[in-house]
């Protein structure tokens, strides 16, 4: 489906992007903490939604 180079690029891009997002989140949270109150609830919601979608996919695949 994907070549080895495409897979490596995708994995590397994902980890670099995730690192940049985490770094920006930490610096923004220090400067403007009022915008980030309750942001963990959004993260939990995304994790739950992703888990539900993954479960549906696994259960309906035959």
Rounded to two decimals, the pTM is 0.60
User: In this predicted model, what pLDDT tens digit does every residue of 4-62 receive, in sequence order?
Assistant: 999 999 999 999 999 999 999 899 988 988 888 888 899 899 999 999 999 999 999 87
Domain range for 24 is 4-60
Q: How many domains does the chain have?
A: 1
26: tokens are: 């930490």
CA distance readout (Å), 15 to 4, 20, 49, 53: 17, 9, 21, 22
* Contact of 51 with 59, CB cutoff 8 Å: no
pLDDT band at 1 (very low <50, low <70, confident <90, very high): confident
What was the pLDDT predicted at 2?
Answer: 84
Handedness of CA 12, 14, 17, 20 (dihedral sign): negative
- Report which of residues 1 and 50 the model is more confident about: 50
């Amino acid at each position: 489906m994907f070549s080895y180079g495409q897979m490596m690029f995708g994995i590397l891009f994902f980890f670099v992007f995730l690192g940049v997002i985490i770094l920006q989140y930490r610096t923004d949270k220090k400067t403007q903490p009022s915008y980030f109150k309750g942001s963990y609830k959004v993260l939990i919601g995304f994790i739950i939604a992703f888990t539900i979608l993954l479960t549906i996919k696994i259960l309906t695949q035959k």
